[in-house]
Homo-oligomer: A and B are copies of this chain.
Amino acid sequence: MENVKVIIWGLGAMGGGVAKTLLQKKGVDIVGAIDIGAKVGKGLFEVLGQEFPDKEDIKVGSTDDYIKPEYADVVILCTDSYVKGNFEKIKLIVENKMNVISSAEEMAYPKAQNPELAEEIDQLATENGVSVLGTGINPGHIMDLLVLVMTGALIDIKHITSKRINSLSPFGEAVMEEQGIGLELNEFNRRKEAGEMAGHVGFEESIHMMADALGVELSEMSTDMEAIVTDVDRKSPYGFAKAGQVAGVFMTAKGMVDGQEFFNLEHPQQIEPEQVGVDTGDYVIIDGSPKVNLINTPEIEGGLGTIAMLVNMIPKIINADPGLKTMIDLPIPHAIIGDFRDQIKEYKKIVK
């Protein structure tokens, strides 16, 4: 069988990380890399800042260079967080008869906030005989998939708490800006009121995914965010918050079923949590029969975790039936240590 062929669209932190990971894996080749601006025309290794002597260096190009009929088995799309931002790109890819895995948080469960576009993506994918998935560490794993997997061992559930207490310190300038690190509190609140604070994108997707899987009807859901104001100066590689300034965002979401709180999600994100005695970790606490009291500490690092999910789901989306898929439709995610080709059903391979 030919190696699995992958195009990476968007060479930021996530797309670049996917590229570096795939260049160290067996049975898989990067056959295309798409970006805009100064990166176009450069070699991929130069853009990644790393050589991979056993692999072919390709040129970073435009969609015209690489989005061509059956040019790859899958395109990894790492451009933005939103279904609306992804839609035209996905349409172009599936019309060229390639599968898609997107890092867009909203694509993890697109029908949560964009049911019409989700329907349209499903139709386009089905017509073209390919499949489309959105995934990542969160949404896509820690605050939804892992919770659901634990409920597999339960016969009944009264209430679910899912918490992800993570450090923003490993992230770069874009994340510092998005999360308001270093803002004065009144500026944070002004931006929040104006709808300019993104915070974590994905609560709607996680809660709707869980509700649909469990078969409970959400009567209401709400999300909120509060500034985490620091008492002491905190400094991370790309962020700085003086005492009294914003060092992170405490995101929360609640989902109601039959008039009672059923889902409680808490996701405080901040730089240098250790400095103030905050232990990071992933928590799944379920009041059910039996009960679940799970902690993973420290938390799975968001950047690497998302890169891993995008890479590890490649065989699953190639093997899938045509259409728009989510993490609850496909076999479980797992690492791939061996040859990618061993994970592929031959009749589903696009590049023969």
Interface residues, chain A, with chain B CB atoms under 8 Å away: 21, 137, 141-142, 145-146, 148-157, 213-217, 288-290, 292-298, 300-301, 304-305, 307-309, 311-313, 327-339, 342-343
9 of the cross-chain contacts (CB-CB < 8 Å) are A149-B149, A149-B333, A151-B312, A152-B313, A153-B300, A157-B337, A214-B337, A290-B300, A331-B331
Q: Given the known A-B contacts A215-B343, A334-B328, are A294 and B294 also in contact in the complex, defined by CB atoms under 8 Å?
A: yes
Q: How far in angstroms is the closest Cβ of chain B from A276?
A: 21
Task: Please give me the residue from chain B that is nearest to A160 by CB atom.
Answer: B335
Closest 9 CB pairs of A and B: A215-B338, A152-B333, A151-B335, A148-B334, A153-B305, A294-B296, A290-B301, A155-B308, A214-B337
Which residues of the other chain, B, contact A155 by a CB distance below 8 angstroms? 21, 304, 307-308, 311, 335
Q: Given the known A-B contacts A295-B295, A296-B294, A304-B290, are A312 and B152 also in contact in the complex, defined by CB atoms under 8 Å?
A: yes
Whether B297 and A335, one on each chain, are in contact in the complex, defined by CB atoms closer than 8 angstroms, is no
Whether B292 and A300, one on each chain, are in contact in the complex, defined by CB atoms closer than 8 angstroms, is yes
Q: How far in angstroms is the closest Cβ of chain B from A2?
A: 17
Partner among B288, B296, B332, B334 whose Cβ is within 8 Å of the Cβ of A335: B288
In the complex, A63→B226 CA distance in Å? 62
In the complex, A328→B308 CA distance in Å? 18
Q: How far in angstroms is the closest Cβ of chain B from A243?
A: 31
In the complex, A293→B279 CA distance in Å? 13
Q: Which of A216, A311, A336 has the most CB of B within 10 A?
A: A336
Q: How far in angstroms is the closest Cβ of chain B from A216?
A: 5
Q: How far in angstroms is the closest Cβ of chain B from A200?
A: 17
Partner among B142, B149, B301 whose Cβ is within 8 Å of the Cβ of A332: B149
Q: Given the known A-B contacts A295-B295, A300-B292, A328-B331, are A337 and B153 also in contact in the complex, defined by CB atoms under 8 Å?
A: no
Which residues of the other chain, B, contact A305 by a CB distance below 8 angstroms? 153, 290
In the complex, A289→B151 CA distance in Å? 26
Which residues of the other chain, B, contact A312 by a CB distance below 8 angstroms? 151-152
Q: Which of A153, A156, A331 has the most CB of B within 10 A?
A: A153
Which residues of the other chain, B, contact A297 by a CB distance below 8 angstroms? 293
Partner among B142, B294, B301, B343 whose Cβ is within 8 Å of the Cβ of A295: B294
In the complex, A157→B335 CA distance in Å? 8
Task: Please give me the residue from chain B that is nearest to A151 by CB atom.
Answer: B335
Which residues of the other chain, B, contact A289 by a CB distance below 8 angstroms? 304
Q: Which of A152, A288, A298 has the most CB of B within 10 A?
A: A152
In the complex, A295→B297 CA distance in Å? 9
Which residues of the other chain, B, contact A343 by a CB distance below 8 angstroms? 215
Q: Which of A151, A156, A298, A335 has the most CB of B within 10 A?
A: A335
Q: Which of A145, A290, A329, A343 has the most CB of B within 10 A?
A: A290
In the complex, A300→B293 CA distance in Å? 9
Which residues of the other chain, B, contact A331 by a CB distance below 8 angstroms? 328-332
Partner among B152, B295, B304 whose Cβ is within 8 Å of the Cβ of A334: B152
In the complex, A347→B308 CA distance in Å? 35
Which residues of the other chain, B, contact A149 by a CB distance below 8 angstroms? 145-146, 149, 332-334
Which residues of the other chain, B, contact A148 by a CB distance below 8 angstroms? 332-334
In the complex, A155→B307 CA distance in Å? 8
Whether B154 and A308, one on each chain, are in contact in the complex, defined by CB atoms closer than 8 angstroms, is yes
Which residues of the other chain, B, contact A301 by a CB distance below 8 angstroms? 290
